[in-house]
Amino acid sequence: MSESVQTHVDGRVLEVILDRPKANAIDSPTSQELGRIFADFRDNPDLRVAIITGGGEKFFCAGWDLKAAAAGEDATTDFGVGGFGGLQELPDLNKPVIAAVNGIACGGGFELMISTDIIIAADHATFALPEINAGTLADAATLKLPKRVPYHVAVELLLTGRWMDVDEALKWGLVNEVVKADQLLVRAREVANLLSEGPPLVFAAIKETIRKTENMDFNQSIQMLNDQGLPTVKKLYNSEDMHEGALAFAEKRSPVWKGR
């Protein structure tokens, strides 16, 4: 493990801390390491939820390390199995990931944030996509942001590069929750621990269903589910956990999820 990325496991929860002072910017080696970490998380049956946050109190992540870009990194650089930041392009990541946004999330850091499933932000966090000012495309955000917030809000952010404060981010649903800075990891861990006790096969089916049906109409999507055409859905509907859920309900007790 490098000094740039730290990890900690607490029960079934993995915490990932991006710690590259001063701005937690990401270069290719850091991105590759994040990709390896999240791929290992994906493949480890003992881990069910991940939290990603930044070191320090000012930056969650400032995006691409411009010193690395000046030294020759470009769009053709190998950023690892998960693409830039380790999450955006990681295939089959069917476990929940929480972003605990401890400060500025801009550029590629903004894109890393919206590649997670739940976003909890400190009350001083701010957000921007400043790529327009450098004459380049915020590629992942251009694809994802109009599906996260109203179209006109997304396009304005992309076209102007302006900053959005945390209250506006909450208003538009860009973040799930805003907390005091000293409560950020406390709250993220509460949510992670709650999810870690949930049914992992259902979580997997939810994430794959959303991902695979994103560009399908409703009739196609529901037919795919009815046909058990998605691996995670087929596994769920033929699982011990599904039987356990019904049995626990009938017996008026808490279910014991085994992930099988």
Q: Are the C-beta atoms of 46 and 131 separated by less than 8 Å? A: no
Cα–Cα nearest to 128, from 23, 57, 222: 23
Residue 3 catalytic?
Answer: no
C-alpha span between 12 and 21 (Å, rounded): 28
Tokens for 175, please give them.
């973040």
Q: Scanning the structure block, which residue is given the tokens 């808490």?
A: 254
> Which residue in the list 33, 73, 131, 208 is annotated as catalytic?
131
- Please identify which of the residues 15, 33, 73, 111 carries the catalytic annotation: 111
Do the beta carbons of residue 1 and residue 7 sit within 8 Å?
yes
Residues 158, 153: Cα–Cα separation, whole Å: 9
Does the active-site annotation cover 111? yes
Q: At 22, list the tokens.
A: 């001063």
Tell me the catalytic residues: 111, 131
